[in-house]
């Protein structure tokens, strides 16, 4: 059985647009040609892939399965093209890596810099995502590796413990909450907040849990790093939710206090994740081993 990459690109486009017409337009094929390709694909596989109706098409169970495999195949083809093109720049491989806000801001910069220094022929494409999005991307083959909150990872994804990633409340020292050891998030949702920009994964995580409490957080300022947030909190502009490691780092030089958030969602554990560590390309396996060695010391999963 042979598969044409154009057929797979077309099928993905049709599945995503729920329309053969729109799918054909996306991959620059005539409608008649696209329809013929889909029918040929169904005939070759011996199954119906689409349910055709007046409002477009819906995937059959076989179509859903093909979509998953087609996305993985096309991701691997694009990865192959990128890696081969990189030879002309003296770079031999690229690892596609997704990380949540805490991992990207607090843990990875130093570790990745050390890895890249040791491996001059490997490059790393790093993108910030919320942990649930990382899990979906890893499962679909859209990324090689992830660093995500373990609770968001389904059973089918392999993981290696990396570190704790507790979220805490940060207050000014003169704030009425500053002497509290812990607080329920419900107690502070009506306060003024300082936070990360709206495109950050942590912003989505925190505001999502506020929404579950029926609250919409009121942000006095949104900034792009924890140090700037700490300065705002120190000045009494508002409270903030930060990873504990970032909060304690800021507290060494700023007039802020760190208060534990009692809610279960604030006690997260980070894990390195992949569909299969054994099936990873060698450069990605090398990065995994490097991250394991560079993992924060102490009791990551106590």
Residue 139 located in a structural domain? yes
Asked whether residue 171 falls in the same domain as residue 255, the answer is yes
Residue 234 located in a structural domain? yes
- Strands of the chain (E only): list them: 50-53, 56-59, 93-99, 122-128, 145-149, 158-164, 167-172, 182-183, 192-196, 218-223, 240-243, 256-261, 269-274
Q: Are 273 and 133 spatial neighbours (Cβ–Cβ below 8 Å)?
A: no
What is Dmax (Cα atoms) for the chain?
A: 72
Phi, psi of 70 (to 5 degrees): -65, -40
Q: What does the alpha-carbon distance between residue 172 and residue 255 come to, in Å, rounded to a whole number?
A: 6
CATH code of residue 282: 3.40.190.10
Q: What does the alpha-carbon distance between residue 35 and residue 39 come to, in Å, rounded to a whole number?
A: 6
Write out pLDDT tens, residues 40-55. Answer: 999 988 999 999 888 8
Other C-beta atoms closer than 10 Å to the C-beta of 285 total 17
Query: Which residues neighbour 64 within 8 Å (Cβ) at sequence distance 6 or greater?
Result: none
Residue 132 located in a structural domain? yes
Q: Are 229 and 223 spatial neighbours (Cβ–Cβ below 8 Å)?
A: yes
Asked whether residue 185 falls in the same domain as residue 255, the answer is yes
CATH code of residue 54: 1.10.10.10
Residue 299 located in a structural domain? no
Spell out, as residue ranges, where the chain has pLDDT lower than 50: 298-302
Domain with 217, as residue range(s), is 167-266
Residue 86 located in a structural domain? no
Asked whether residue 177 falls in the same domain as residue 260, the answer is yes
Asked whether residue 287 falls in the same domain as residue 148, the answer is yes
* Beta-strand relationship, 56-59 and 167-172: unpaired
Which pLDDT belongs to residue 74? 85
Asked whether residue 106 falls in the same domain as residue 239, the answer is no
Asked whether residue 115 falls in the same domain as residue 231, the answer is no
Residue 58 located in a structural domain? yes
Which pLDDT belongs to residue 201? 83
List C-alpha distances in Å: 280 to 28, 76, 93, 243. 33, 11, 12, 30
Rounded to 5°, angle at Cα 122 from 159 and 135: 25
Specify the number of domains making up the chain. 3
Which pLDDT belongs to residue 1? 60
Which pLDDT belongs to residue 299? 40
Which pLDDT belongs to residue 88? 59
Residue 258 located in a structural domain? yes
Residue 114 located in a structural domain? yes
Which pLDDT belongs to residue 91? 57
Asked whether residue 63 falls in the same domain as residue 104, the answer is no
What's the alpha-carbon Rg for the chain, to the nearest Å?
23
Asked whether residue 173 falls in the same domain as residue 262, the answer is yes
Asked whether residue 287 falls in the same domain as residue 244, the answer is no
Q: Which of 35, 70, 105 is the last residue of a domain?
A: 70
Which pLDDT belongs to residue 89? 61
Distance of CA 35 to the CA centre of its chain: 35
Q: Which two tokens stand for residue 280?
A: 């990873």
Asked whether residue 103 falls in the same domain as residue 252, the answer is no
Asked whether residue 177 falls in the same domain as residue 222, the answer is yes
Other C-beta atoms closer than 10 Å to the C-beta of 47 total 14
Asked whether residue 38 falls in the same domain as residue 60, the answer is yes
Which pLDDT belongs to residue 300? 41
Distance of CA 202 to the CA centre of its chain: 11
């Amino acid at each position: 059985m042979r598969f044409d990459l154009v057929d797979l690109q077309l099928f993905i486009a049709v599945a995503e647009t729920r329309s053969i017409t729109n799918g054909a337009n996306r991959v620059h094929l005539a409608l008649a040609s696209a329809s013929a390709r889909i029918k040929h694909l169904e005939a070759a596989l011996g199954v119906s892939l689409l349910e055709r109706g007046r409002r477009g098409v819906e995937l059959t169970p076989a179509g859903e399965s093909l979509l998953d495999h087609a996305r993985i195949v096309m991701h691997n083809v694009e990865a192959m093209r990128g890696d081969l093109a990189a030879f002309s720049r003296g770079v031999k491989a690229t690892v596609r890596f997704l990380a949540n806000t805490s991992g990207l801001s607090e843990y990875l910069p130093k570790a990745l810099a050390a890895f890249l220094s040791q491996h001059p022929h490997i490059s790393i494409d790093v993108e910030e995502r919320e942990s649930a999005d990382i899990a979906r991307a890893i499962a679909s083959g859209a990324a090689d590796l992830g660093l995500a909150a373990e609770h968001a990872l389904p059973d089918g994804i392999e993981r290696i413990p990396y570190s704790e990633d507790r979220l805490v409340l940060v207050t000014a020292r003169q704030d009425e909450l500053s002497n509290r050891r812990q607080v329920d998030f419900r107690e502070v949702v009506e306060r003024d907040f300082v936070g990360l920009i709206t495109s950050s994964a942590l912003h989505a995580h925190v505001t999502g849990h506020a929404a579950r409490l029926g609250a919409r957080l009121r942000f006095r300022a949104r900034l792009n790093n924890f140090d700037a947030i700490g300065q705002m909190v120190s000045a009494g502009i508002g409270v903030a939710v930060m990873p504990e490691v970032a909060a304690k780092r800021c507290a060494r030089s700023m007039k802020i206090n760190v208060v534990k958030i009692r809610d279960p969602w604030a006690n997260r554990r980070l894990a390195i994740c992949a569909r299969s560590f054994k099936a990873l390309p060698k450069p990605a396996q090398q990065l995994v081993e490097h991250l394991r060695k560079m993992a924060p010391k102490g009791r990551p999963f106590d």
